[in-house]
Amino acid sequence: MGKEAVEDWRRKKQDIDMNNRNVKVHHGEGVFDYSKWKDLKVGDIVKVEKDEFFPADLILLSSSYDDAICYVETMNLDGETNLKVKQALEETSKLQEDSSFQNFKAIIKCEDPNANLYSFVGSLELEDQQHPLAPQQLLLRDSKLRNTDFIYGVVIFTGHDTKVMQNSTEPPSKRSTVEKRMDKIIYFLFFVLFFISFIGSIFFGIATREDLQNGVMKRWYLRPDDTTIYYDPKRAAVAAMLHFLTALMLYSYLIPISLYVSIEIVKVLQSTFINQDLHMYHEETDRPAHARTSNLNEELGQVDTILSDKTGTLTCNSMEFIKCSIAGIAYGQGVTEVERALARRKGVPLSQELTEDDNVPETSEAKSSIKGFNFMDERIMNGNWINEPHANVVQNFLRLLAVCHTAIPEIDEESGKVSYEAESPDEAAFVVAARELGFEFYERTQTTISVREFNPKSGKTTERSYKLLNILEFSSARKRMSVIVRDEEGKLILFSKGADSVMFERLARNGREFEEKTKQHIDEYADAGLRTLILAYRELDEEEYNLFNEEFMEAKNLVSADREQIVEEISEKIEKDLILLGATAVEDKLQNGVPECIDKLAQAGIKLWVLTGDKMETAINIGFACSLLRQGMKQIIISSDTPETKSLEKVEDKSVAEAAIKESVIHQLRKGKELLAESDENSEALALIIDGKSLTYALEDDVKDLFLELAVGCASVICCRSSPKQKALVTRLVKIKTGSITLAIGDGANDVGMLQEADIGIGISGVEGMQAVMSSDIAIAQFRFLERLLLVHGHWCYRRISSMICYFFYKNIAFGFTLFFYEIYASFSGQAAYNDWFLSLYNVFFTSLPVIALGVFDQDVSARLCLKFPLLYQEGVQNTLFSWKRILGWAFNGVLSATIIFFFCINAMEDQAFRKGGEVADLEVLGATMYTCVVWVVNCQMALSISYFTYIQHIFIWGGILFWYIFLLVYGTLDPSLSTTAYKVLIEACAPAPSYWLITLLVLVASLLPYFAYASIQMRFFPMFNQMIQWMRNDGQTTDPEYVNVVRQRSIRHTTVGFTARFEASQSSGASKSIQV
- Catalytically annotated residues: 309
Residue type, 951: Y
Rounded-to-integer distance, Cα 831 and Cα 72, Å: 75
Crossing angle, helix 923-945 and helix 951-972, to 10 degrees?
170
DSSP 879-943: TGGGSHHHHHHHHHHHHHHHHHHHHHHHHHHSSSB-STT-PBP-HHHHHHHHHHHHHHHHHHHHH
In three-state secondary structure terms, 1063 is helix
Q: What is d(CA 971, CA 979) in angstroms, rounded to the nearest whole number?
A: 6
φ and ψ of 638, to 5 deg: -110, 110
Q: Answer yes or no: are the C-beta atoms of 632 and 1065 closer than 8 Å.
A: yes
Rounded Cα–Cα distance for residues 580 and 515 (Å):
7
Are the beta carbons of 462 and 470 closer than 8 angstroms? no
Nearest to 96 by CA among 47, 23, 141, 139: 47
- DSSP tag of 299: G
CA-to-CA distance for 392 and 389, rounded, in angstroms?
9
As a whole number of angstroms, the distance between CA 1000 and CA 1021 comes to 32
| Beta strands at 607-611 and 716-719: parallel, antiparallel or unpaired | parallel
SS3 1071: coil
Give bridge partners of residue 179 from the DSSP assignment: none
Q: What is the 3-state secondary structure (H, E, C) of 603-642?
A: HCCCEEEEECCCCHHHHHHHHHHCCCCCCCCEEEEECCCC
Q: Are 772 and 78 in contact (CB under 8 A)?
A: no
Contact 723/613 with Cβ under 8 angstroms? Answer: yes
Cβ pair 659, 653 in contact under 8 A: no
Indicate the SS3 state at residue 2. Answer: helix
Helix and strand numbers (H, E) in the chain are: 37, 35
C-alpha 995/C-alpha 980 separation (Å) is 23
Which 3 state secondary structure label does DSSP give 435? Answer: helix
Residues in the chain: 1077
**Distances 173 to 181, 296, 579 between C-alpha atoms, Å:** 16, 11, 55
> CA 119, CA 109: separation in Å to the nearest integer?
15
The CA distance from 870 to 885, in Å, is: 24
Q: Which residues on neighbouring strands pair with residue 920, listed in sequence order?
A: 913
Q: How far apart are the first and last CA of the chain?
A: 54
CA distance 99 to 760: 54
Distance separating alpha carbons of residues 419 and 80, to the nearest angstrom: 18
CA distance 468 to 377: 32
